[in-house]
Amino acid sequence: MRIPPTVSLCYNGEKFHQEPLKERNPMAIKPKTTPIYQTSVFTFEDLNELEAYFEQPSTAYMYTRFANPNSDELAAAVKALEQGAGAVVTSSGMSAILTAVLTYCESGDHLLCAEEIYGGSSVLLSRELRRLGIGVTYVPLEDMDDVSPYVTEKTKMLLTETMTNPFLNVQDIQQLASQCRRLGLKLVVDNTFATPVLTRPLTLGADMVIHSVTKYLSGHSDVTAGVVVAQTEPDGSRAQEIVVHYGLNLSPFESWLAARGLKTLHLRVKQHSANALAIARYLERHPRVKKVYYPGLPSHPQHQLAKRQGNGLFGGMLSFVIDDDPDTVNRFMRALTLIPFAPSLAGVQSSLSHPLKTSHRALTPEKRKKLGITMGLIRLSVGIEETEELIADLEQALDSIAD
């Protein structure tokens, strides 16, 4: 039988000493970091306290699917960064997209989506939402300056990315917002690549912003999460209802991890951006590289827009093209020693991906060909390592595929 302790080890600022064990006052506990509320349910004193909760749910917690201190902390932090009025965190970036669409659309409605978008988003819209009776039309990049020919009486919203995946084309959010207001559409922007450090779409007129928190906001490749931030409180409340009713909520532990990672976002994004710009400049000069896609390069078609909209930063994502040959791509990947092949992005460690075989493999061959997603296209998520070490690794890998 274990005998409970009768003394407590205390520290008075100079030395440790033992004192008789006393019950500590919970109200006196003031942790600098929010504890993890790893619980599925919260308790009530009696029926009166329960009724008080239902009268004012924001004053207490009942069930983690409805709300939890950790998920609320994360939502509030991202809401502040994006300067929104309402926010809710979700179980993944995909569930954030679903939440945003269902906030504005129902069966029989129609939405527009930029043609160049993350492949998973395209699959969700084209396959799953069509099963729910929500139609989608994809707008080519060259037509985004005027989407009115694609609008029908059923069209409710336009979905786009601040920077497109994988070619880093930059959308003029202010111009799109002006269009959408004129056409009576809601503008939803996936701001994952840019982050609020570069661009805050809500301040440029967007109605809703979504993120895959898995990526830059969390930043350490150890969380799967999403977030939805609305420009108005009613839209934020509706998004929260969808998360609750569809069970799209995020767990307390992952909320805590993401909130911890978010604290270094500004520092990380600045280093991601500095490294990516240096690498893009290096790759643009390399004879084995056919093309580099990075908005920080003057050769990028939206360089000036990216400079203005990104506050002088261009993010940590870039894509480049080598020989359009599977063996060449494989040799290049195997030769890298610091940069792993990992089909995700935005961690503190650099990684590369292959859009044809990962993020965009579900698209039809015709669609991939139209977008320019070929065998030789490599997407590079630039981390925060020493720039010189990353360039040296890329150089020896590119040397390995020389004729």
**Residues designated catalytic:** 65, 118, 190, 215
Q: From CA 127, how far away is CA 107, in angstroms rounded?
A: 14
Percent helix, strand and coil across the chain, each rounded to 5?
Answer: 40, 15, 45
Find all residues with CB under 8 Å of 319, minimum gap 6, and list them.
Answer: 166, 167, 168, 292, 293, 294, 355, 377, 378, 379, 380
Q: From CA 250, how far away is CA 243, in angstroms rounded?
A: 9
228 touches 198 (CB < 8 A): no
Find all residues with CB under 8 Å of 334, minimum gap 6, and list them.
Answer: none
Burial of 149 (0-12, 13-18, 19+ CB in 10 A): exposed
Q: Which two tokens stand for residue 4?
A: 């409970």
Q: Which two tokens stand for residue 39?
A: 């619980």
In 10 A of CB 213, how many CB atoms? 31
Pairing of strands 16-20, 135-139: unpaired
Q: Which amino acid is at 332?
A: F
B/e letters for 59-77, b = 16+ CB within 10 Å, e = fewer, are: eebeebebbbbbbbbbbeb
Q: Which amino acid is at 232?
A: T
N- to C-terminal Cα separation, the chain: 74
320 φ, ψ (degrees, to nearest 5): -150, 165
Q: Side-chain half-sphere of 271: how many Cα atoms within 13 Å? A: 18
